[in-house]
Chain A
Amino acid sequence: MFSILNNSELVKKFKKSDLIIKGGLFLLFFLILVAIFAPILAPYDPNSTSLLARLRPPLGFEKFKVGFLLGTDELGRDMLSRLIYGLRFTLFIALVGSLISMTIGTLIGVISGYVGGIIDNIFMMLVDIQIAFPGTLMALLLISVFGSSITILIFVVGISGWENYARVVRGQVIQIKNEPYVSAAQVAGAKPRRIILLHMLPNIASPIIVLYTFGISNVILLESSLSFLGLGIQPPTATLGSMTGLGRDFLSSYPHICVLPAIVILLIALVFLLLGDWLRDSLDVRLQRK
């Protein structure tokens, strides 16, 4: 399945790609590195408050004062450190959350497509229900019932979006079920598990990877909008969404508190979209539309 990642053709296509794509991928790489090395890079503790250094604007907007590159928030916490840690949190939730929905969706899609019959009908019924149940509403309902914690948040964003994987994977499996190499494996006596893992999954990996990339972008937006509404991880933990949401109160006089995290959300969702778009074109995947 991962042979696709060290695909030399992909490298070739990357070298030929637009400046925007190259810039986007480098930015993505950079943001991931920042998130990984957050404890080393952050100049201050993201949650330590300082009453004397409250509401300081970013460097260059205020004369004769140094110390906070991007200023401080209403409690005197360093914006740069909070952004770095917020990015780390957001990325972590997005990567793990989309991994969950990918696993559930792929599993259901493969079983549905391979087995068919009544099981297929039941699973597709579930997909229909999930489509009628928009991610945001489901997230609001579940958070309202279970309270908000990191586990719940990951779970909530993890089960939203599985239906996309299930539908696409099911379609792909049905398409390749009658290919000669699958029949050959069946005739040779291979068990369904072996056929699915070794013969089918590697052949349908491309659309799954593309969906995963778009999924990350969706999850980032879902998580940040929940946190923005005050339903995500509770303060003082920094996430980009909650920083934007809480910073809204200071928008008229201290816009940097709200605008900086908003820009980071925008950038990170954008680079994953770019990556997804590029992967889709380069791997030549045609995703079926709703």
Chain B
Amino acid sequence: MRFVIIRTLRAFLTIWGVITLTFIATRIAGNPIDNFAPEGLSNEEYNYLMEYFGLNESYFVQYVSYFKGIIEGNFGFSYFSFQPVTEVFFSKLPNTLALFGYAFLVSLIIGIPLGIYAAIYRNSILTTFIMALAFTGYAIPNYILAIFAILLFSFTLHLLPTVGLETPYHYIMPVGCLAMSMLAGKIRYSRSAMLDVLNEDYIRTARSKGLSERIVIFKHAFRNASMPIVSILGLQIAGFIAAVVLVEAVFAIDGIGNLIVKAAIFSNYPILQYGVMLWGSIVVLATLLVDLTYALLDPRIRVN
């Protein structure tokens, strides 16, 4: 119980740290209004904007009210559309979630069986191909993959559309590019998790009992290997924002990634702050969940 409390406290402290750092980062460079307001704004309009976004208060007051807002569920307003940032985010979320969901599923369905195969048949020719695929997915940045894909499937073969997400065909390339970069991790981790387990004594015991290879692999080995694989899946989400930003940029998809990039270009800080906070919280909570699950299943961790 003590472990759970300390670990949870630490997670919340981390989220607080992320929020505070973001706040500091967006305030040291001076007044954001100067960055985005059009030239020739009258004094009156300028003061109105300052007051509207609460920028004429001292930094400390701004920080306190920002924090209070977060607790109350009010995350500020977009500097351009004057909408609440949550509203802006949720309008873009479906596209990004669909993209991520499909890519995650595809990489899961393909990646884990390939990883297991590569662990069992370590010297087969197919394994060499699988590991080459994993290395390619890991080494090729997905925006470059996307460019090659567009060149091949759209401009040379004229098979697939290039921008947007209107029809199911529109999903093929962006999902494929995202899945490719996630695939690499899944193959590598499920392979190494299986390899670790296959060397255990209980596998040798199971084999010496005369159990069929199929039962040894799926009942004894895979069940034990699935724990580390699941934990990696949780942590893989952390790296996914970078991939999504780039894939959405290449295929001009109206999602969270494009929203954040535009916010960065036009200094729309409330959007950026919310994006960073949301992402940080997801990562921290995913890690927390993984740690707590581990502690639940493995008493040794609780003691340390």
Contact = CB atoms under 8 A, between A and B. Distances in A.
A126 B15 CA distance: 11
Could you tell me the dominant secondary structure of chain B's interface residues?
helix
19 contacts: A125-B13, A125-B14, A131-B287, A132-B18, A133-B18, A133-B21, A133-B276, A133-B279, A134-B242, A137-B275, A140-B261, A144-B263, A145-B267, A221-B141, A259-B148, A262-B144, A262-B148, A270-B139, A290-B235
Contacts of B26: 141, 145
B29 A146 contact: yes
Interface of A: 125-126, 128-129, 131-138, 140-146, 221, 224-225, 228-231, 244, 248, 251-252, 255, 258-259, 262, 265-266, 269-270, 273, 290
B136 to A, nearest CB: 9
A137 B15 CA distance: 15
B249 A137 contact: no
Contacts of B151: 251, 255, 259
Interface string B250-294: 100000000011011101010010011001110110010000000
A141 B280 contact: no
Contact of A131 (B13, B238, B269): B238
A132 B261 CA distance: 19
B155 A132 contact: no
Given A140-B245, A141-B25, A144-B263, 8 more contacts: A136-B242, A140-B260, A140-B261, A144-B272, A228-B249, A259-B147, A270-B139, A290-B235
Contacts of B148: 259, 262
Could you tell me the dominant secondary structure of chain A's interface residues?
helix
B261 to A, nearest CB: 6
Interface size class of B (residues with CB under 8 A): 35 or more
What are the nearest 8 A-B pairs in CB distance?
A136-B242, A144-B264, A140-B264, A132-B280, A129-B17, A145-B29, A132-B283, A128-B14
A223 to B, nearest CB: 11
Contacts of B272: 140-141, 144
Interface in B120-167: 138-141, 143-144, 147-148, 150-151, 155
